[in-house]
Amino acid sequence: MICILRRLITDNKVEPYTEHRQKYEVDQMKNFTGKSACKGVAIGRAFVLTGHDNDVRKWHIDDTEKEKKRFFHAKSISISQLNDIYEKAVAGTGKENAQIFKAHILIMEDAEFVNSVINLIEEQSVNAEYAIKAVADRYEGIFASMEDSYMRERAADIRDIAGRLMENLSGQGRVSDSVEGQVILCAEELSPSETVQLDKEHVVAFVTAYGSLNSHMAILARSMNIPAIIGVGQDFLHEISNGDRLAVDGYTGRIWIAPDEETIERIENKKREDEQKKALLDELKGKENITLDGRTIDIFANIGSVKQLKDALDVGAGGIGLFRSEFLYLESSDYPTEEQQFTVYKKVLQSMKEKKVIIRTLDIGADKQVSYFHLEKEENPALGYRAIRICLTRPELFKTQLRALYRASVFGKLGIMFPMIISVTEVEKIKVICEEVKKELSEENIPYSEQVELGIMIETPAAAIISDRLAKMVDFFSVGTNDLTQYTLACDRQNAAIEQFADTHHEAVLRLIELAAKNAHENGVWIGICGELAADTSLTETFLRMGIDELSVSPVFLLQVRDAVRKITLL
C-alpha cells in the first residue's frame, strides 16, 4: 500500500462524490422555523448529511459471510464512484491531478488491505464498519509515524478511503457527493469548505440545525445565492429521512416536511416572483455604474474559485475585488504547490483580461481550518493564529504563494491583498518578503510584472485607527466588514446567541470605515469594501458619500448594487 501511495498520490485532491439514498415520504406535513441566512425559495428532496463519528460502534455478527458481502458491496460501489470521479477530474483538472482517485482505487483493491478487513470480520465476528476502521487506524498510524512529511500527510487519504467505504455501508453520503434531482441539503452544520463545494445544479437549498448568520458558512451561502435556513434545531434532523419532500422559504425561515398542495403553490408563486425580479435586474447587464450626478463607481466581484469567473463576467463585473485564495488550501489534502497555484492565478488573470484582479493571500484559521496545517486548538481562534500571522511565521509557505502570484502577474492586472493586518511592522515584513521573492525570480530569469499593487484589508480596529500610517505603505485598502464588525463590537461571528448584538450598521463600525477612507484619500490611495456590507444597498449611498471608490460583492448581488448606484445623487 505504501508503494501505491508513493507512486500515485499527487498534491491535489478533489472532494469525492456519492449518491443519496432511499427516498421516504412522511405522512403528515410538519413545519420548522429557523433563521434566514439567504433569501429565496425551493422545493426538493431531503439529502441528510450526518457527521462522521470517529468512535465507530463494534457489534457481534453471527453471519460473517453476509457481513463480508456487505463489505465487498460497499467496496464495489466505492470503486465505481471513484472511477466516475476520476473521469470528471481528468476533464476538469487534468490527468495528473486526477491520479489521487486511481490511488484510492488501488488501495481499496490492495490484497493486504482487503484481507486485513476480511480476517477481522471472520476471526472476531465483528461488523464491517468496525473492521474497516480498525484496519484504517493501523495504516494511518504507520503513515503518521513516518519521518517523510509528504508520507505523513497521506494518513488523510487513508481516512478518506475508510470514510467512503463506511458511508457506502451505512447509506450516508457526503456534502460534495453528486446527487440526482433537486435536493435540499440538511445537516447539523457545514464548514466553509463544505459549503463552497455545494453542487448548485442539484443542491437548491440547505438547512442546518445550528449556525450563526455571521459565520462564513452563511456568508458563502449568500454569495452562492442558495436559499439557506440555519439554527432550525436538532429536532428537525430527527424528523426527516433521505428523500423526504421539503419546501423551504428563505424569506420567512420556514421549512415544511411533506408540504401540502397549498404550501407548494405558495412557494411556487414566490419562485415566479423571484424570477421576475431577476429578469428586471438582468436588464442592467452592460450598463454603467454611474450615479445620477455622473460619478462612476467601480463594482467588482468576490469569488472563491475559477468556476465563479463565469458568474462575474456574466454580470459585467469591473474586476475581481476579492479572490479568496484560501479555498485552494481548503479543497486540497496537502499544501498546494507553487505550480498548482500559478495555474489558477494565471487562469483568473487571463479570463479577466485587463480588468483588475485582487487576490487575497491565504486566510486560514478561525473557522477555516485545514488539517494538514496542524494548527493547535485555541480557546479563541478568531483572535488567534490565523491569516497573515501564519504567513509571517511560516515564510516558506508564504513565499510559495507569493512566487505563484508574481509569476502570474504578467498575464493581467494583479493586486495582492494581505488580511488581518494590525501594525506597520507587519506591512514592513510583508514588503521585505515580496522583495525577496522578486529578487529570486529575477535571478531565475522568471518574468513578473513591476506593476503589481499591494494592499491590505482593513478588518481590525487597529488597522483603521492607524490607517493614516498604513496608507503611506500600500497602494490600496479593502475593508473587510465582517471581521471589522466582529472585532469592533467584541461579538464572535460564530456565536448565534449574540447575533442580536452584532449590529453591522453600528456607528462605531461606520466611523472606522469613514476614518480609513479619509486617510486613504489624503495619502493618495484608493479604498474599497469587499465585506458583506458592500452588498447592503441600504448603505450604498452612505459609502459613496464617505468616498469609497470600489464595492466588491458576490456576483449574485452585483446587479442589485449597480441598480442602487444608478438611483443615487451625491450633489
CATH class of 30-50+177-271: alpha beta
Q: Catalytic site residue 216?
A: yes
Residue-level pLDDT at 294: 94
**Sequence-ordered strand ranges (E) for 53-193:** 183-187
Residues 6+ apart with CB under 8 A from 308: 301, 555
Q: What's the CA gap between 168 and 191, in Å, rounded?
A: 22
Residue-level pLDDT at 92: 56
Q: Catalytic site residue 530?
A: yes
What kind of fold does domain 291-566 have according to CATH?
TIM Barrel (3.20.20)
Question: How far is CA 447 from its chain centroid?
Answer: 31
In 3-state terms the chain splits into helix, strand, coil percentages (rounded to 5) of 50, 15, 35
Q: What's the CA gap between 70 and 169, in Å, rounded?
A: 7
Task: Give me 442's grid cell.
Answer: 529575477
In sequence order, what DSSP letters do the residues of 45-67 get, joined into one string?
A: EEEE-----SS----B-S-HHHH
Q: Which of 20, 104, 186, 216 is catalytic?
A: 216
Question: What are the CA-CA distances from residue 114 to residues 58, 169, 316, 318 (Å)?
Answer: 19, 15, 53, 54
Q: What's the CA gap between 12 and 328, in Å, rounded?
A: 9
354 and 412 Cβ atoms separated by less than 8 Å: yes
Residue-level pLDDT at 181: 66
- The CATH architecture of the domain made up of 56-170 is Orthogonal Bundle (1.10)
pLDDT (tens digit, 0 to 9) for every residue of the chain, 571 residues total?
Answer: 555 555 544 444 333 333 333 333 334 688 899 999 888 999 999 988 765 444 577 888 889 998 999 899 889 988 988 888 778 667 655 676 677 778 888 888 889 999 999 999 999 999 898 999 999 888 888 877 777 655 665 676 787 788 888 877 765 544 444 445 688 989 888 766 566 666 677 889 989 998 888 776 777 777 778 899 999 998 898 888 878 899 999 999 999 999 999 999 999 999 999 999 889 889 999 899 999 999 999 999 999 889 889 999 999 999 999 999 988 888 777 889 999 999 999 999 999 999 999 999 999 887 777 778 888 888 888 899 999 999 999 999 999 999 999 999 999 999 999 999 999 999 999 999 999 999 999 999 999 999 999 999 999 999 999 999 999 999 999 999 999 999 999 998 878 788 889 899 999 999 999 999 999 999 999 999 998 899 999 999 999 999 999 999 999 899 999 999 999 999 8
What are the boundaries of each domain within the chain? 30-50+177-271, 56-170, 291-566
Q: Count Cβ atoms below 10 Å from residue 563 Cβ, excluding itself.
A: 17
Question: What are the CA-CA distances from residue 79 to residues 121, 124, 164, 485 (Å)?
Answer: 21, 26, 10, 47
Pair type for strands 203-208 and 30-33: unpaired
Residue-level pLDDT at 196: 60
Q: Count Cβ atoms below 10 Å from residue 467 Cβ, excluding itself.
A: 26
Residue-level pLDDT at 173: 47
